[in-house]
Amino acid sequence: MKFEYAPGATPIDADEATGLIPSHLTLQHELNEYEETNILEAVDWLFGRRRGDPLDQRFIRAVHRRMFGQTWKWAGEARRSDKNIGVRWYEIPLHLNQMLGDVRAQIEHKAYPPVEIAARYHHRLVAIHVFPNGNGRHARLMADLLLTELANQRFEWGRESLTTASEVRSRYIAALRAADGGDCQPLLAFLGQITD
Ligand SMILES: Nc1ncnc2c1ncn2[C@@H]1O[C@H](COP(=O)(O)OP(=O)(O)OP(=O)(O)O)[C@@H](O)[C@H]1O
Ligand SMILES: [Mg+2]
């Protein structure tokens, strides 16, 4: 399998690469399509009959396992090496707890509108970068889930796939970088279009 990376994507380590479950894939687009099929099953599960708490660490991992469990052996498990994005791997549970506590407080005190609470949650989740890979897709789904609970809405994420290089992806990554620096406005502008 030869991995190719869109700008802002996280490279797979050699030891993570051995966790790839399907053995028949050779090209990145084949992997993307394989993962996408797995993810769509997770979306059906998630927005179908059963739902969990997007502010619960175990459920956060369970969703990743649903999304990538047919593709990666380490799906649902926090990473055990450092990446170019994200906190030190051994501080992941600490940062997650802190973040989830902050979000609960924001909700309780209506500190921001629901869309902004969900957008901030998305950024914090992806900035912690819990998993070896799949963080972007996972954190987008988790934010949709939180926004569904808060306001019965989902984001449109620029109305197209964000997984490959595109103008929309560039705007998305730039917005996350601004949020890294404490400015959430570009991310809110990017997410401006929301659906019921
Ligand atoms: N500067 C940044 N700050 C915070 N998050 C970032 C930054 N740059 C990229 N990201 C996030 O990291 C994700 C890439 O991480 P990863 O490769 O684990 O996710 P993915 O789901 O495999 O990829 P993608 O969603 O990009 O297809 C991006 O989608 C984006 O959400
Ligand atoms: Mg990736």
Q: Which residue has the higher pLDDT, 6 or 96?
A: 96
Place 177 in a pLDDT band, splitting at 50, 70 and 90: very high
User: Which helix H or strand E contains 44, and what residues bound it?
Assistant: helix 28-47
Q: Residue 2 has what pLDDT?
A: 87
What pTM was estimated for this model as a whole?
Answer: 0.84
d(CA 154, CA 195): 6
- Which residues' Cβ are closer than 6 Å to ligand 1? 8-10, 85, 126-127, 133-137, 139, 162-163, 173, 176-177, 180
User: Which helix H or strand E contains 175, and what residues bound it?
Assistant: helix 167-180
Domain residue spans in the chain?
14-195
14-195 CATH: 1.10.3290.10
The minimum-distance atom of ligand 1 relative to the CA of 180 is 3
* Protein residues with C-beta less than 5 angstroms from the ion ligand 2: 9, 133
Place 1 in a pLDDT band, splitting at 50, 70 and 90: confident
59 to each of 9, 97, 141, 188, 189, how far by Cα in Å? Answer: 24, 13, 13, 26, 29
**Residues 6+ positions from 122 with CB-CB distance below 8 Å:** 139, 140, 142, 143, 187
**Centre of ligand 2 from the C-alpha of residue 164, in Å:** 10
Convert the pLDDT of each residue in 113-159 to its tens digit: 999 999 999 999 999 999 999 999 999 999 999 999 999 899 999 87
d(CA 159, CA 182): 25
Token output for 50: 């059963």
The minimum-distance atom of ligand 1 relative to the CA of 138 is 21
Convert the pLDDT of each residue in 12-70 to its tens digit: 999 999 999 999 999 999 999 999 999 998 888 887 766 789 999 999 999 999 999 99
Q: Residue 50 has what pLDDT?
A: 60
Pocket test of ligand 1: the residue of 10, 130, 157 to mutate, having most ligand atoms within 8 Å of its CB, is: 10
